[in-house]
Amino acid sequence: RAAEKVTVFAAASLKNALDAINAEWQRETGKETTASYAASSTLAKQIEQGAPADVFISADLAWMDYLADKKLIKTDTRSNLLGNRLVLVSAMPDSKAVDIKPGFDLAALVGDGRLAMGAVDSVPAGKYGKAALEKLGLWPAVEQKIAGAESVRAALLLVSRGEAPYGIVYQTDAVADPGVKVIGTFPDDSHPPITYPIAMTADSQSADAAAYVEFVKSAKAAAFFKAEGFTVLK
Amino acid sequence: MSLEVEARHRIGAFTIDAAFTSDGSVTALFGRSGSGKTSLINIIAGLLRPDVGRIVLDGDVIADSRKRIFTPIHRRRFGYVFQEPRLFPHLSVRGNLAFGRWFSGAGKSASEFGRIVEMLGIGHLLDRRPSTLSGGERQRVAVGRALLASPRLLLMDEPLAALDEARKAEILPYLERLRDETRIPIVYVSHSVAEVARLAERVIVIENGRVLASGDAAAILSQPAAVHAMDWREAGALLEGVVESHDSTHNLTIVRAGECLVRVPQLFAPLGHSVRLHIAARDVMLATARPEGISALNVFEGTVIDLSPDEKGSFDVRLRCGGNVILARITALSREALELAPGKSIHAIVKTVALNHT
Amino acid sequence: MSLEVEARHRIGAFTIDAAFTSDGSVTALFGRSGSGKTSLINIIAGLLRPDVGRIVLDGDVIADSRKRIFTPIHRRRFGYVFQEPRLFPHLSVRGNLAFGRWFSGAGKSASEFGRIVEMLGIGHLLDRRPSTLSGGERQRVAVGRALLASPRLLLMDEPLAALDEARKAEILPYLERLRDETRIPIVYVSHSVAEVARLAERVIVIENGRVLASGDAAAILSQPAAVHAMDWREAGALLEGVVESHDSTHNLTIVRAGECLVRVPQLFAPLGHSVRLHIAARDVMLATARPEGISALNVFEGTVIDLSPDEKGSFDVRLRCGGNVILARITALSREALELAPGKSIHAIVKTVALNHT
Amino acid sequence: MDWWITLSDAEWTAVQLSLRVATVAMLCSLPPALLAAMVLARGRFWGKSVLNGLVHMPLVLPPVVTGFVLLLLFGRRGPIGAFLAENFGIVFSFRWTGAALACAVMGFPLMVRSIRLSIEAVDRKLEDAAATLGAGPAWVFMTVTLPLILPGIVAGMILSFAKAMGEFGATITFVSNIPGETQTLSVAIYAFTQVPGGDAGAMRLAVISVIISLAALMLSEIFAAVAAKRSVAA
Amino acid sequence: MDWWITLSDAEWTAVQLSLRVATVAMLCSLPPALLAAMVLARGRFWGKSVLNGLVHMPLVLPPVVTGFVLLLLFGRRGPIGAFLAENFGIVFSFRWTGAALACAVMGFPLMVRSIRLSIEAVDRKLEDAAATLGAGPAWVFMTVTLPLILPGIVAGMILSFAKAMGEFGATITFVSNIPGETQTLSVAIYAFTQVPGGDAGAMRLAVISVIISLAALMLSEIFAAVAAKRSVAA
Ligand SMILES: Nc1ncnc2c1ncn2[C@@H]1O[C@H](COP(=O)(O)OP(=O)(O)OP(=O)(O)O)[C@@H](O)[C@H]1O
Ligand SMILES: Nc1ncnc2c1ncn2[C@@H]1O[C@H](COP(=O)(O)OP(=O)(O)OP(=O)(O)O)[C@@H](O)[C@H]1O
Ligand SMILES: [Mg+2]
Ligand SMILES: [Mg+2]
């Protein structure tokens, strides 16, 4: 029976939206799904080692590319599912909105505090954040002030707990946290597009996997993703 | 130099309920295995806190459960030689010996250290670990450790049990000197009447957690009923005497006890020094007439006080000889032959070598 | 019933280099503290593997380092009463006693269990943990544990050291019966001449890891030189005799040893049974003429063989009396008074109660 | 006890699974841990340091690395995993058995250390005494050594159990986060911390985890107290 | 030894930092661990179970949760953190001291258990003997108990050190991943595992970590052997 269930390996940040979508899918089709949420890196390596996953949704392109290189996904089923935006958050309710553009003195804003973000060479959000800061020419000034968290959630926590006055996180996480205030959004062109790709795995035996992928890409599902703050890509 | 002990305590099914006072400088605890000697000593040391108890040493109340006084163990400064050696395994023999000195302030001088080490014959062991010692060596180190802690009271639980006689003969005189010179009171557990007779002024006989008899060593050791717990073979009389003269050509010392002059193997005590002689009942022979041409040097005239009941074919006869009470153990057959009865005058014969206690 | 031991071993600065054979059923190991008795027993048991060694029991080669034979400890079935009790703390007394039975196959019968428990007086302790026992109680359980393992050889390292005399007097006869009835050989370490005299047929005297003297108990115990390691006070002669008659009205037994008739406290042995009498030198009095009207029941005529050198004012006189050699210890003064010299005829006087060994 | 009722089926499953995984991990690692402890405490052989190092490895390496190593070795395509699956039908990958394996491995050094410490404290003279009474080496171990090291064994088991309750790094890396199969309590807690609004859920599960572990601790203490009463050194 | 040369400065810094963090964590947790072990082994008081549970908490909870709790308590705004910062100038957040605190807390239950096990094995009769020789409770502890529990202390220290080398969950959550300040070896290893193709780097650092721990283990074994030789039960 387990083989008939669709098994989704998805980035941990998608848990809320995907849980809702899976529930909806079950209501409509009567079919159950199994979702395993973990870091994209973990999931990719598990798929490489023969994990019984039918569908993989990664939080960045790199790990999907990693599997594609090894021919472990059905490339024809791959598409970019979601997008996200990077925002600058502050824990201080009275902080003013800022305009993030080249020449913006982020270093002065941060002062002698820390700028929390995902770890810049391992966590996807950190990688995007670093790219944006470099593109805007702000990186050299703030490089020494970065506190690289283990995930966006941890970075957000650092800000909401007042450890770091400012942080760079995904919009999706920021809007859900009443403890922080979004004071600026990074221009979309300042960093490579934040993309959550989806694909079926090469080993997938499930008859329903294709239908499930279509469902996740459907407008019905899109509503759930949007509710969590994601941009739905077409 | 007075010790007052009172204790009532239950451990499992065993109840200790004992009280005694002793003003002797050495108090012997006698009793069969399991009678509660160690428990009693533990109570004195403070290791066992009795349900009800009171310990007074020289007027100093060490513990009194009614008044909620309890001097902590380490403030009592009671040197304790445990029944088992209990050496510190992580310290060398030297470390074990020195342990008490760290805490006793001044401590014994270096020369005292050397003296005790030599007396115990543990000089060659100082750098060894306790785990490499033989049973007797451990016991000797344990004795040294307690002695070197400058205690104000020594508790010794069968301290010489695992030692050979020659070694005992070296340690006992040291304990005697301790008793006589430094006047540290000692509570001493032993199954050997010879040891007790030699050291103890007071004897407490324990049976089943209770004091069966207590009193002067002389009195207790000549009470056959009380010595059931001890070596029955060693029961006898204890005479108090003073050194009268020395006969060094023959290695003899003459001790005056009451009106009797007793020849004993040479003692190294000055004239006039008071000494105690234990004359075991089994070593005393009786004769109706003064015998001639015999090797025994001590013949005392006396009268029979009374006879104990027959015990396995032998009688203990109490005699009064020149102000002393002497005990003689004879067979039923001899009793008939000599027609012994209270009031009969008799000669008691004791070999000098039988009085050798070293 | 023959034991052959040969061992050479270094432990730290101590070297053991001993060889002895014994065909007695009880072999006593004598020696001062630290002389290597326990080490030797450990070698026999297999707990210490000597550099060079050979153990043969009744022709059965238990270990031989040259032939690379080494029977594992648990296959030797040598019951070992350690110097310290070594009870299993996680088992009850009953569990400790039964331990050996689990492995010895048949094991002792239940009645034997009851007999041993009663003899040791540990019946009321069966459900207790060893940690709650007194020192002597532990030692008794350790003895019981070894006895109940149905050993083919018993190794006993001062098994009675912590016991009172009354208890010893209950255990010794049991060991005697073991020796006489089951004929289990025993290697016995003790500092007590009385115990050894009573039990042992062969005595090995160890000094500093070497065998100083070995031989028949009678021979060794009357060699003052060899008994330095033992209680000097207990040195004496060992007489082999047979029960001649019983005098139950007076609780006496008459033993014939050579041509001497010795009156001893009643023995519970049948007529004709052979017994051994230990007559301590200190208990023997000499007289030039047969004394009259004395309580001592044993007067033997004899002649002086020789006199030992003067030792602290006393001499050991060897006498030949009716085919036996008897030792008498007298003072230098008596020696002069009686004009003792080899060849002189003399009377030896021994009290019956002095021969009481129980 | 409001939150109790609000435990979802999935969470309830996670609780049961955690219990099963922790118990199995604890019990199955006991025999090898005993063996390793015995060898380390008593053995004298050349490779002892290597063995000792190996035993401590799961402690020294980040759990993610341990999990990854397990994935490489015991995964469907791993040498050991493939061997076991083919010859004995034992499959670890993405099964609860794999979670138990991960937890057992992570708790192994803790268990070995505890037991080893106890073995080293055993008075070997008692073992000698047992031998003179006719007990061969195996019997000596069973009747003397084992009862005497019971406190160490209990301590080791408790550490292993508690560790298994808290383990997620190696588990999620090795067998992913599959509800009902490999999603233990702590993995579920982790997943909750990765999404906005998950804190309450994480907290609720953490409380359950703590309660279970406290109960286990208490049991072990009672057991240890009984054992201690029985085996005071004589 | 090729890879040695290829250690980047940052990695080299991580190595040094790890050593410092692990050493400090081990040493600083020793006194409280001793105290806790003593109280748990010897004390008889009402809240003992609670204390015992508390000590085991870091083992039971996922490290991320422990890190989160540390952040709540010892963070800049946390009650203890604020108090310490104000009164003693001790700051944990984003400092290596915070990493050390996290590692110390994670290793605490391991250390306490080892020491406690040893304390429970101490023959109290020896302590009694010391008391009769005039040693007060503190001296008895110093001169008798402490030397006798040395094996347990060493075992506990080694476990704590090894744990500190492998800890990253609580560390990264509490003090994030700041190169040169809080990026310990295992945090760096973790970062490597999160990027495609980072395995080689992770492996290199893992090897270093293992070598350091092996060296520490070996040292402790030598030390323990010496101590054991000294204190065979008499
Ligand atoms: N590991 C060791 N290192 C050095 N010397 C040792 C070691 N073990 C034992 N010895 C020495 O060997 C000698 C013999 O010890 P053993 O225990 O055999 O004596 P023993 O005759 O049984 O003495 P006791 O009557 O005191 O029990 C002792 O002097 C002891 O100090
Ligand atoms: N925890 C306990 N539970 C039950 N009984 C106990 C406990 N501890 C001691 N006893 C009993 O108390 C009695 C007295 O013990 P103690 O050690 O004082 O005897 P002892 O006179 O020193 O004997 P020994 O001469 O054999 O050393 C013993 O019968 C012993 O069994
Ligand atoms: Mg006692
Ligand atoms: Mg010995």
DSSP string, A210-221: HHHHHHHHSHHH
Q: How far is CA C159 from CA C136, C140, C154, E56, in A?
A: 10, 8, 11, 48
pLDDT category of residue B333 using cuts at 50, 70 and 90: confident
Residue the block writes with tokens 């995007």:
A128
pLDDT score at B122: 93
Q: How far is E207 from chain D (nearest CA, A)?
A: 9
* Chain E 6-35, residues with CB within 8 Å of chain D CB atoms: none
pLDDT at E194 over 90: no
pLDDT score at A21: 93
* Chain D 106-135, residues with CB within 8 Å of chain C CB atoms: 125-126, 128-135
- Across C183-200, average pLDDT: 84
Distance C83 CA to ligand 2 centre (A): 20
pLDDT at D233 over 50: no
- Nearest residue to D107 (alpha-carbon basis) of D55, D174, D69, D183: D55
pLDDT at C229 over 60: no
- C10 CB under 6 A from ligand 1? no
- Whether C332 and B353 have beta carbons less than 8 Å apart is answered as no
Quickly count helices (H) and strands (E) in chain B: 9, 20
Beta-bridge partners for B80: B155
Most ligand 1 atoms within 8 A of CB, residue of C16, C32, C33, C37 to mutate? C37
| Cα–Cα distance for residue pair C40/C74, rounded to 1 Å | 18
Which atom of ligand 1 approaches the CA of C83 most closely? 27
* Chain C 242-281, residues with CB within 8 Å of chain B CB atoms: 247, 249-252, 263, 265-266, 281
pLDDT category of residue B167 using cuts at 50, 70 and 90: confident
CA E18, E19, E22, E27 dihedral sign is negative
- Across B257-264, average pLDDT: 87
Distance C34 CA to ligand 1 centre (A): 5
- Whether E66 and E169 have beta carbons less than 8 Å apart is answered as yes
Phi first, then psi, for residue C294 (nearest 5°) are -110, 160
Q: How far is CA C31 from CA B124, C21, C39, in A?
A: 18, 17, 12
| Cα–Cα distance for residue pair E62/D209, rounded to 1 Å | 10
Beta-strand relationship, C153-157 and C78-81: parallel
Q: Which residue has the higher pLDDT, A170 or B282?
A: A170
pLDDT at E121 over 70: yes
pLDDT per residue as tens digits for the range B53-75: 999 998 899 999 999 999 999 99
Ordered by start, the domain boundaries in chain E are 2-229
pLDDT score at C198: 78
pLDDT per residue as tens digits for the range E23-37: 999 999 999 999 999
pLDDT category of residue B108 using cuts at 50, 70 and 90: low
Residue type (1 letter), C135? G
pLDDT at C204 over 80: yes
Chains adjacent to E (≥3 CB pairs closer than 8 angstroms): A, B, D
Percentage of chain D surpassing pLDDT 70? 94
pLDDT score at B80: 95
- Across C331-347, average pLDDT: 86
Q: Which residue has the higher pLDDT, C314 or E216?
A: E216
pLDDT category of residue D58 using cuts at 50, 70 and 90: very high
| Cα–Cα distance for residue pair C142/D132, rounded to 1 Å | 12
pLDDT category of residue C108 using cuts at 50, 70 and 90: low
Along the 234 residues of chain A, how does pLDDT read in single tens digits? Answer: 345 789 999 998 888 899 999 999 999 998 889 999 988 888 998 998 888 899 999 988 989 999 999 999 999 999 999 999 999 999 888 888 888 888 888 888 888 888 999 888 888 888 899 999 999 988 998 988 899 888 888 888 889 888 889 999 998 888 878 888 899 999 988 888 999 999 999 988 888 899 999 999 999 999 999 988 898 987
| Cα–Cα distance for residue pair B266/B314, rounded to 1 Å | 32
Residue whose CA is closest, atom 11 of ligand 2?
Answer: B14
pLDDT at C358 over 50: no
pLDDT at C282 over 70: yes
Q: Which of C261-265, D7-11, D225-229, E57-61 has the highest mean pLDDT?
A: E57-61
pLDDT at B229 over 70: no
- Nearest residue to E114 (alpha-carbon basis) of E152, E61, E154: E152
What are the structural domains, with CATH classification, of chain B? Answer: 3-236 (3.40.50.300), 243-355 (2.40.50.100)
Q: How much of chain A is in helix, strand and coil states, percent to nearest 5?
A: 40, 25, 35
Residue whose CA is closest, atom 14 of ligand 2?
Answer: B36
Which atom of ligand 2 approaches the CA of B35 most closely? 21
Minimum mean pLDDT range among B342-351, C159-168, D2-11, E159-168 = D2-11
Residue type (1 letter), E154? V
- Across B112-128, average pLDDT: 91
Phi first, then psi, for residue B10 (nearest 5°) are -110, 130
Residues 6+ apart with CB under 8 A from D156: D30, D33, D110, D111, D112, D113, D114, D115
Report the SS3 class of residue B110.
helix
pLDDT score at B263: 87
pLDDT at B104 over 80: no
pLDDT score at C357: 56
SS3 sequence, E80-98?
A: HHHHHHHHHCCCCCCCHHH
| Interchain pair E75, A65: CB under 8 A | no
- B151 CB under 6 A from ligand 2? no
Alpha helix (H) ranges present in chain E?
Answer: 2-5, 9-42, 48-60, 63-74, 79-88, 96-121, 124-132, 137-140, 146-148, 150-166, 169-175, 185-193, 199-230
Which of A158, A160, A166 is the best residue to mutate to test the E interface, defined by the most E CB atoms within 10 Å of its own CB? A158
> For residue B355, with 0-12 CB atoms within 10 Å meaning exposed, 13-18 middle and 19 or more buried, which class applies?
buried
Residue whose CA is closest, atom 1 of ligand 2?
Answer: C132
pLDDT score at E234: 36
- Across B69-91, average pLDDT: 93
Residue the block writes with tokens 């032993």:
B190
Task: Supply the DSSP string of D110-139, one letter for each residue.
Answer: HHHHHHHHHHHHS-HHHHHHHHHTT--HHH
pLDDT at C340 over 60: yes
- Across B91-98, average pLDDT: 93
- C159 CB under 6 A from ligand 1? no
End-to-end CA distance of chain B: 27
- Across C144-159, average pLDDT: 92
Minimum mean pLDDT range among A127-136, C263-272, D166-175, E82-91 = C263-272
pLDDT score at C225: 61
Find the CB nearest C45 among D132, D134, D135.
D132
Report the SS3 class of residue C35.
coil
Find the CB nearest E133 among B72, B138, B145.
B145
pLDDT score at B129: 92
Task: Name the residue in chain D with its Cα closest to that of C100.
Answer: D133
Which atom of ligand 2 approaches the CA of C125 most closely? 31
Residues 6+ apart with CB under 8 A from B346: B286, B287, B288, B301, B302, B303, B304, B319, B338, B340
Residue the block writes with tokens 């003792």:
C340
**In this predicted complex, what is the ipTM?**
0.87
- C6 CB under 6 A from ligand 2? no
Interchain CB contact of A115 with E (< 8 Å):
no
CATH superfamily of E2-229: MetI-like (1.10.3720.10)
Q: Which of B141-145, C214-218, D88-92, E197-201 has the highest mean pLDDT?
A: B141-145
pLDDT at E4 over 60: no
Residue whose CA is closest, atom 28 of ligand 2?
Answer: B34
Distance C53 CA to ligand 4 centre (A): 20
| Cα–Cα distance for residue pair C216/C221, rounded to 1 Å | 8
pLDDT category of residue E138 using cuts at 50, 70 and 90: very high
pLDDT score at C227: 59
pLDDT at D234 over 50: no
